[in-house]
Amino acid sequence: MTVSFATSARSSVGLEWEIMLADGASGDLVPRAPEILDVVSDATALERYTVTGELLTNTVEVTSGIGDTVAAAVDDIADAIAAVRTVTNPLGVELLCAGSHPFAQWYDQQVTDKTRYHKLIERTQWWGRNMMIWGIHIHVGVDDVEKVFPLINALAIYLPHLQALSASSPFWAGERTGYASNRALVFQQLPTAGLPWPLQDWSEFERYMDDMVRTGVMADATEVRWDIRPAPRWGTIEVRACDGMSTLPELAAVASLVQVLVEHFSRALDEGRTIPALPPWFVRENKWRAARYGLDARVIVDADGTQRGVRDHLAETMDELTDVAVELKCAREFAGLSRILDQGASYARQLLVADAAEGDLREVVQHLIREFRAGPTLREHLAQLGHN
Assigned domain for 21 exists: no
Assigned domain for 45 exists: no
The pLDDT assigned to 11 comes to 97
**What's the structural domain count of the chain?**
1
Q: What is the mean pLDDT of residues 140-154?
A: 98
Which percentage of the chain shows pLDDT scores above 70? 96
Assigned domain for 165 exists: yes
Judged on CB neighbours under 10 Å (0-12, 13-18, 19+), 157 is buried
Assigned domain for 120 exists: no
Q: Containing domain of residue 355, as a range?
A: 125-387
CATH (domain of 365): 3.30.590.20
Q: What is the pLDDT of residues 234-248, one digit of tens each?
A: 999 999 999 999 999
Q: What is the pLDDT of residues 263-312, one digit of tens each?
A: 999 999 999 999 999 999 999 999 999 999 999 999 999 999 999 999 99
Residue 217, CA distances (Å) to 123, 200, 208 in order? 11, 22, 11
Assigned domain for 164 exists: yes
Name 93's Cβ contacts closer than 8 Å, sequence gap at least 6: 21, 22, 23, 24, 30, 32, 36
Assigned domain for 156 exists: yes
Assigned domain for 180 exists: yes
Assigned domain for 49 exists: no
